Amino acid sequence: MQIFIDSADAKQIEIWLAQGVVDGATTNPSIMFKDGVTNMEEGARELATLLGDRPLSVEVTSNDHLTMLEQARTFATWARNIVIKIPIVNEFGDSCLGVIHKLNHEGIGVNATAILSFNQAILAAKAGATYVSIFAGRVADEGNDPAIVIRNVRNWLDQWESPARIIVGSIRTVMDIQSAALAGAHIITIPPQFLPKMVDHRYSRETVRQFVRDAEKTLKEMSKAKVQVAAPGAG
Ligand code: E4P
């Protein structure tokens, strides 16, 4: 399973890349805004460079299919590792599958986004999306169980040998990460604030504290013993 970082914050991406746990990054217009990216092209280029050959998802900003296509073609020229996020439908409910299909034919990688149901996911995969982004937190907001959606989509992709990969996004709690991983996500995109919480544990700290204290005691004993061994010879 891969881990992406759901962020446009270059510092955070650098920190977690150095920890060896980041396989890519995802952004959307809200994340870019929150993380202070004012120039989309500059921001995306910077993040794409940081990520090396790991994928960076950048989302189109229009409801209009032709504008989506134009933006996607432009964004894809910014860096080789940029993948274009296309919503499954625009805000009026018009299908964006044709846009996904066209971009796939042009060799541009697509992350089909804002997916909330099994049916949306399988259509996006059929249309040629490289990634299908299931929004776990938003599925749960609607009273549905994201783990069931993730598991069903994963089974379907495996059954039909689809190359599409599930990204689980919209992570709201650390527990969402475990649930998504166990439900069969290929990738989970994690907001950076959850990563320290995943690493840390109160009892791990306590355990290490005990070992450090005991090591100090052992070292003291060892140096005492050395002095005693050294003393008779010295005389
Ligand atoms: C990631 O690809 C999504 O854009 C992001 O996780 C959405 O998160 P939200 O539902 O908290 O806005």
Q: Which pLDDT does position 232 carry in this prediction?
A: 64
pLDDT of residue 228: 78
pLDDT over threshold 80, residue 233: no
**CA atoms of 99 and 127, how far apart (whole Å):** 9
Q: Residue 183 corresponds to which tokens in the numbers above?
A: 């439900």
According to DSSP, the β-strands at 2-6 and 110-115 are: unpaired
Q: Which two tokens stand for residue 167?
A: 């990204």
CB of 114 within 8 A of CB of 147? no
Which SS3 state, helix, strand or coil, does residue 105 take?
Answer: helix
- Selection from 78, 90, 70 nearest residue 51 by Cα: 78
pTM score: 0.94
Angle at 213 between CA 211 and CA 219, to 5 degrees: 95
Q: What is the pLDDT of residues 155-203, one digit of tens each?
A: 999 999 999 999 999 999 999 999 999 999 999 999 999 999 999 999 9
Ligand 1: distance of its center to the CA of 38 in Å? 19
224 phi and psi, to 5 degrees? Answer: -60, -50
State how far the Cα of 137 lies from the Cα of 145, in Å rounded to an integer. 9
Whether residue 133 has its Cβ less than 6 Å from ligand 1: yes
Domain boundaries, the chain: 2-199, 201-235
Whether ligand 1 lies within 6 angstroms of the CB of 137 is answered as yes
Check residue 88 and report its DSSP letter.
S
For residue 53, pLDDT over 90 is answered with yes
CA of 25 to the centre of ligand 1 (A): 12
Helices (H) and strands (E) in the chain, counts: 11, 8
pLDDT score at 234? 52
* Whether the predicted pLDDT of 235 surpasses 60: no
**Which CATH architecture group holds 2-199?**
Alpha-Beta Barrel (3.20)
Residue 91 CA to residue 173 CA, distance in Å, equals 27
Give tens-digit pLDDT for 56-68.
Answer: 999 999 999 999 9
Neighbour tally for 12: CB within 10 Å: 18
Among 2, 6, 88, 187, the mutation site with the greatest number of ligand 1 atoms within 8 A of its Cβ is 6
